Amino acid sequence: MMLSEDVAFDMIRSSIILLLSEKPLHGYGIMKEVEDRIGKPVSPGVLYPFLKKLDKNRLVSSSKKPVGQKPKIVYELTAGGKELAARIYKRIASMVSLAIEPNLSVCVHCGCKIYEGGYRETISGREKIFCCVHCAQVYKDELASVKHARASKEEV
Ligand SMILES: [Zn+2]
């Protein structure tokens, strides 16, 4: 589907779809939310033709609803639109992990990913990284008990 491919690579358009996946919005509401969240305004010249295109592709439905004093056209994702939103979420999630994961260290003891800081200690001449001091201590204790077990085996 050409449209979904276009959309997934476009930040403003992706944001519009994702906003609508949270709740139905009218045009002005979409413009305001997009600017609040990504700090980039979306012009009516981009928004309305895009909404029209989504409507034509049955990805949104529009209906007049009372908003405050006056009725306004409120846009809502259809089942197809929700599927598209799910695909955009997936794509963004994989892009984010692509950007973050290579820089992540993993705790030598518990295997959890270390997003910030961590604790480093040189053990047996090699620097190891842990998520916390506690993991480092448990790791050293385990290492010591393994060494101890080996040593007592050799004695026998
Ligand atoms: Zn750990």
Least confident interval from 5-14, 38-47, 58-67, 69-78? 5-14
Cα separation of 156 and 33, whole Å? Answer: 73
Q: How far is the CA of 139 from the centre of ligand 1 (A)?
A: 9
Residues 83-112: tens digit of each pLDDT: 999 999 998 888 887 777 777 888 999 999
Count of other CB atoms within 10 angstroms of residue 31: 18
Least confident interval from 12-16, 65-69, 105-109? 65-69
pLDDT at 100: 73
pLDDT at 1: 45
Average pLDDT for 107-126: 90
Cα separation of 57 and 76, whole Å? Answer: 13
Q: Answer whether residue 155 shows pLDDT above 80.
A: no
pLDDT at 8: 44
Confidence of residue 70 (pLDDT cuts 50, 70, 90): confident
Q: How far is the CA of 50 from the centre of ligand 1 (A)?
A: 47
Tokens of 71: 């009725």
pTM of the model: 0.59
Q: How far is the CA of 141 from the centre of ligand 1 (A)?
A: 14
For ligand 1, a single-atom ion, the residues with CB < 5 A are: 107, 109-110, 131, 135
pLDDT at 6: 55
List of domains in the chain: 2-102 (1.10.10.10), 105-155 (no CATH)
Q: How far is the CA of 122 from the centre of ligand 1 (A)?
A: 16
Q: How far is the CA of 98 from the centre of ligand 1 (A)?
A: 22
Q: How far is the CA of 137 from the centre of ligand 1 (A)?
A: 10
Q: How far is the CA of 35 from the centre of ligand 1 (A)?
A: 39
pLDDT at 107: 93
pLDDT at 57: 96
Cα separation of 30 and 40, whole Å? Answer: 12
Q: How far is the CA of 92 from the centre of ligand 1 (A)?
A: 28
Q: How far is the CA of 134 from the centre of ligand 1 (A)?
A: 8
